Amino acid sequence: MQLAYIARRVLIFLLIVWLAATLNFFLPKLSGEDPVRAKLLQSAQLGGYVQAGLEDMVKVYNQRFGLDKPLWRQYLTFLHDTARLDFNYSIANYPRTVGQMIAEAVPWTIGLLGVTTLLSFALGTFLGALLAWPGAPRWMRWVMPPLWAMHAIPFFLLGLILAYLLAFQVPLLPIFGGYTAGAVPTLSLGFIWDVVSHALLPALSIVLATTGGWALGMRGMMVTTMGEDYVTFAEAKGLKSPTIFIRYCLRNAILPQTTALALALAQILSGAVLVEVIFGYPGIGALLFQAIQENDFFLIQGIVFTVIVALGFATLILDVVYPWLDPRISYRRES
């Protein structure tokens, strides 16, 4: 039974990967032109400067996606390349390949997103649980409205405000980049602090904006859980307050909360992309922005695909972890 559940989840993951690749293939066909030619045209319009290597790229492109080949052939070639993670060259940054550029940017984003998501989820969930518990100190009530407000504001806006307050008005933290321009990456403490201080503002924006959401959600789940019959029985059993709070309420409320996490990943990523853009943080988001500016279609394709697959994978992991938390799932068929 458990195997069937995992198998289904993996299948969905593969479906997502396939869907991403297919989208990547068909969407540009919408406009009827190929991106390399478009770039060529654009460069020509700008006064004759032709991007180096563009001729070579056109050749490679035609080889793979030549319009003389039947559509299904192109499609298969595309799928094949994608499976090999060959995203072609970056149009604007030839001879660097898309793969290279993505590989450089990914660690920054994973670092930022990984830490902030875990932090805000843990913090928010615990805060939300406390807020729902009647035994919580009264002053905690006042924490709610600011959390609500911050949850409603999109990340990047919060980022803008924070940037102004903490980087401009009071030059506390650096506002741009992953580390001070020109610094040489070493494993020294100084460099590490440099990286961290540059990451603080973007991280703060994300954490502040999302913690509220988790707290509110958890509070809601807790309120529902606290109304359940088994909590009443737990109290009738004469259990201590902390026991009921943790073993009976938290333990059950965390289940839908985790589901919410899986569903929110996509949203968090979208928000993070914009935050990176505002702060020039050299992650996937900023790379995407740059690609859009430069009309570097292959880079855009590569990034979108990578992100979709990464998210699908993360969701897969969460889906597989879930039955471990909720014993009802591995035994029941999908309802």
Partner 1 sequence: MLGYLRRNPSLAVGIVLLSLLALFVIVGNLTVDTSLARPLSVRALQPPSWDHLFGTDRQGRDLLAVMVAGTPLTLKIGFVAGFIGVGIGTALAFTAGYYRGTVDAVIRGVADVGLTVPGLLVLILIAVSVRGGLTVNEMAIIVASLAWLNPTRTIRSQVLTLRERGYVEVARLNGMSGPAIILREMLPNLLPYLAATLVNAVSAAILASVGLEVLGLGPVESPTLGMTLYWINFNAAILNGWWWWWLAPTVIILIVFLGLFFLTVGLDEVANPRLRRSA
Partner 2 sequence: MNAEILRVERLRVSYDHPQGAVHAVDDVSFSLQSHERFGLAGESGSGKSTMALAILRMIRPPGHIDGGEVWLGDTPLSSQSDEAMRRLRLAGISLVPQGSMNALNPVLRIKGQIADALEDHGIALSPRELNARVAELLGHVGLAPEVAEMYPHELSGGMKQRACIAIAISMGPKVIIADEPTSALDVVVQRQVMATLGRVQQELGAAVILIGHDMGLMAQFVDRLGVMYAGRLVEIAPIAEILAAPRHPYTEMLVASLPSLERKGEMRGIPGLAPLLRDLPQGCAFHPRCPRAIDRCRGERPALREVAPKQHVACHLA
What residues line the site for partner 2 (CB under 8 A)?
228-230, 232-240, 243, 247-248, 251-252, 255, 325-328, 331-332
- Residue 148 binds which one of partner 2, partner 1, none, with CB within 5 to 8 A depending on kind? partner 1
Q: What is the helix (H) or strand (E) element at residue 100, kind and residue range?
A: helix 98-132
Q: Which helix (H) or strand (E) holds 219?
A: helix 189-226
Residue 56 or 235 having the CB closest to partner 2: 235
Q: Helix, strand, coil % (nearest 5) of the chain? A: 75, 0, 25
Under 8 Å CB-to-CB from 65, ≥6 apart: which residues?
A: 34, 74, 77, 78
Closest CB to partner 1 among residues 160, 234: 160
123-152 footprint of partner 1 as x/- string (CB under 8 A): -------------------------xx-xx
Q: How far, in Å, are 70, 284, 311 from residue 304 at the CA level?
A: 25, 10, 11
Virtual torsion, Cα 108, 111, 113, 117, nearest 10 deg: -170
Which of residues 153 and 239 has its CB atom nearest to partner 2 in the complex? 239
Contacting residue, 127, 208, 288, 329, with partner 1 by CB under 8 A? 288
Residue 143 interacts, among partner 1, partner 2, none and using kind-specific CB cut-offs from 5 to 8 Å, with none
28 binds partner 1 (CB under 8 A): yes
- Least distance in angstroms from the C-beta of 33 to partner 1: 7
Find where tokens 């069937």 sit: 4
Residue 253 or 273 having the CB closest to partner 2:
253
Q: Does 218 bind partner 1 (CB under 8 A)?
A: no
